[in-house]
Amino acid sequence: MAASQDRLRLARYYERTVDVMLLTLIIFAVAGATIFVMSVTIGDWEFWADWKDRRYWPLAPVAALLVFPAGISAAFWQRFRLPISCTAVVLLYTVFRWVSSYINFHLFGGYPMSFVWPSVFIPLAIVIDCSLVITRSVFLTGLGGAFLWGLLVYPANWPLLAAFHEPLTYNGEMLTTADLMGFQYIRTGLPEYVRVVERSVLRTFGDAVTPLTAVFAGFVCTLVFYVSWIAGSLLNNQAWVKKV
């Protein structure tokens, strides 16, 4: 009897160890894949404070980041009825992005953290998860929650962006704080022709284009949510996934 109990305890120990290792692997895989997609697709618009302009930043990073949360939400909702995936994925992305910004950009690159902070997306993810809880409908969640995801990115980040709009005089020229930081910390464009000179810098952010971009981002995010949810559902229904 004692030997049988020892084997049972050992089996439970190995089972817990494997579960922890798998969970850790999944966390790093999801967060790493999300950061990789964001870095490759939208890069500078998310990395630098002076690139958070009024046209591309409220649209491209928001739509790109929604792919993984929406796809994983499909699996969690269909299997466990847990509306936590969007918040969990965005939280993991935010934590890893802060670590990456501090190590890669601040320690090794020498940029101040006030210039390389990641955008705030956690409140937007909570909105989608809450929409799924309240409506219990994928269609209404995409129509409402995903639309708000794209619409509210600018207000959610405004407390961090406001300081970069402060005017200052530099060598007789009127600049914003973001302009001065862009001059002091020279970076390469990837590629350079992506940068729209004098049109998509932070000094022009906040004009009449901003609400139009926000509304358009809401429609784009709704479409991205539906497509990602369908892709996640198809992947979740594969035979080899069901066996996991």
Which residue has better confidence, 238 or 21? 21
Closest alpha carbon to 50 in 191, 190, 195: 195
Mean pLDDT, residues 85-101? 88
Please tell me the predicted confidence (pLDDT) of residue 189: 57
pLDDT confidence band for 2 (50 / 70 / 90): low
Q: What is the mean pLDDT of residues 68-80?
A: 86
Q: Which of 82-96, 101-115, 133-147, 182-196 has the lowest mean pLDDT?
A: 182-196
How many CA atoms within 13 Å lie on the side-chain side of 206? 10
pLDDT of amino acid 243: 55
Residue 144 has pLDDT above 50, yes or no: yes
DSSP structural state of residue 175: E
Q: What is the pLDDT of residue 147?
A: 94
**Check whether domain 2-242 has CATH 3.40.630.30, yes or no:** no
Residues whose CB falls within 8 Å of the CB of residue 179, separated by 6 or more in sequence, listed in order: 50, 201, 202, 203
Instruction: Reply yes or no: is the peptide bond before residue 123 cis, omega within 30 of 0.
Output: no
Q: Which two tokens stand for residue 18?
A: 């494997």
Most confident of 3-17, 28-42, 54-68: 54-68
pLDDT of residue 244: 54
The arithmetic mean of pLDDT across residues 155-168, rounded, is 85
Tokens found for residue 169: 């005089």
Distance between CA atoms of 118 and 49, rounded to whole angstroms? Answer: 9
Whole-number percent of the chain with pLDDT over 70:
86
pLDDT mean across residues, the chain: 80
- Structure confidence at residue 55 (pLDDT): 75
Q: Residues 88-102: what's their mean pLDDT?
A: 89
Percent of the chain topping pLDDT 90: 16
pLDDT single digits (tens) 186-208: 776 544 444 444 444 554 444 56
The whole-model pTM stands at: 0.80
Spatial contact of 43 and 190, defined as CB atoms under 8 Å apart: yes
